[in-house]
Chains A and B, each alone.
Chain A
């Protein structure tokens, strides 16, 4: 099974400043079809997760362009260029390259 490891697990940030979350997989997420199925989701308390980024760097519909994703193989990063108050929540990386699909432990983003 592929294990997803996120760092940090908690990230206090100042409004208007950048934030970055890392995600490492225990094996390559490159699928046999050539795509890398690494996604980022955000969850607020009492709400279902919401997809932000899919296939490493593609923003989902309606996601602000201050969110960006990068990486390859086993190492991936989510960046927020300028954190806004509405960005607080728990962020998860997720792989759907190989079943059982799996998630990182989650990173709690909070405002300082």
Chain B
């Protein structure tokens, strides 16, 4: 059975950094494309980043140059390193497998002073 468990969210000051983790089970992350999608409070969904099975990555314009997606195949885990955080990055961050078939429960990131 597929499970995705996010962790690493919390309250952080503007300009700070956080690393989110997504521990996967029931499948191999390196054989799928894995994504991070976020949802600001009361708002819609925004695709943040994706890492493809071959290892290449893509980023939304709002996070390009600040966020980095990566994976550790030995831990079957995907990461999102978030630097230079802004108030507008406040959101629940979801880890998503492939084309949206499986989502984690999400982890809340709050950027505020």
| A residues adjacent to B (C-beta < 8 A) | 1, 37, 39, 41, 48-51, 54, 60, 92, 94, 96, 99-106
* B45 interface residue (CB < 8 Å to A): yes
Contacts of A101 in B (CB 8 A): 35, 47, 50
Q: For the complex, give the distance between the alpha carbons of A101 and B48 in Å.
A: 9
Contact B61 A100 (CB under 8 A): yes
Contact B58 A51 (CB under 8 A): no
- Majority-rule SS of A interface residues: loop
Contact A102 B101 (CB under 8 A): no
Contact B104 A94 (CB under 8 A): no
Which residue from chain B places its CB closest to the CB of A48 in the assembled complex?
B103
Q: Known contacts A48-B94, A103-B44; is A54 also within 8 Å of B101 by CB?
A: yes
* B72 interface residue (CB < 8 Å to A): no
Q: For the complex, give the distance between the alpha carbons of A49 and B100 in Å.
A: 9
Contacts of B101 in A (CB 8 A): 51, 54, 60
Closest 10 CB pairs of A and B: A48-B103, A101-B47, A103-B45, A99-B58, A100-B60, A51-B101, A51-B100, A96-B99, A106-B44, A39-B100
Residue in contact with A103 in the complex, picked from B47, B50, B58, B103, CB distance below 8 Å: B47
